Amino acid sequence: MESNNETVKIIPLGGLEQIGMNITAIEHGDDIIIIDGGLAFPDEDMLGVDLVIPDITYLKNNKDKIRGMVVTHGHEDHIGAIPYIEKEINIPIYTTKLTMALIEYKLDMHGLTDCVRRKVVSYGQIINLGCFRIEFIRTNHSIADSCALALYTPAGIIVHTGDFKVDYTPVFGGVIDLQRFGELGKKGVLALMADSTNVERPGYTPSEKNVGRTFDHIFDDNRNHRLIIATFASNVDRVQQIINSAYKYGRKCIVEGRSMVNVINIASELGYIKIPDNTLIGIDEAKNYPDEKLVYITTGSQGENMAALSRIAASIHHKISIVPGDVVIFSSSPIPGNEKSVYRVMNELEQKGAKVIYHDTHVSGHACQEELKLIYALTKPKYAIPVHGEYRHLKRHSELAVEMGLKKENVKILTCGDVLEIGGDKFDIVSKVVCGGVFVDGLGVGDVGNIVIRDRQHLSENGLMVVVVTLERGSNQILSGPDIVSRGFVYVREAEMLIEQCKDIAAEAVVRCTSREDVDWNRIKNCIKEDLGEFLWERTKRSPMILPIISEV
Residues known to be catalytic: 195, 366
Strands (E), 424-528: 426-432, 437-441, 444-445, 464-471, 478-487
Sheet holding 93-95, edge to edge: 118-120, 93-95, 66-70, 31-35, 23-28, 8-14, 418-423, 426-432
Closest CA to 471 of 536, 534, 515: 515
Q: Position 159: which residue type?
A: V
Cis omega before residue 482 (within 30°)?
Answer: yes
Nearest to 520 by CA among 506, 529, 530, 510: 510
Q: What are phi and psi of 372, to 5 degrees?
A: -65, -40
Are 63 and 25 in contact, with CB atoms under 8 Å apart? no
Q: Is the CB of residue 380 less than 8 Å from the CB of residue 373? A: no
Its sign, for the CA torsion 86, 52, 414, 124, is negative
User: 148 with 162: CB under 8 angstroms?
Assistant: yes
H/E segment holding residue 76? helix 76-79
Strand partners, 514: none
Amino acid 34 reads I
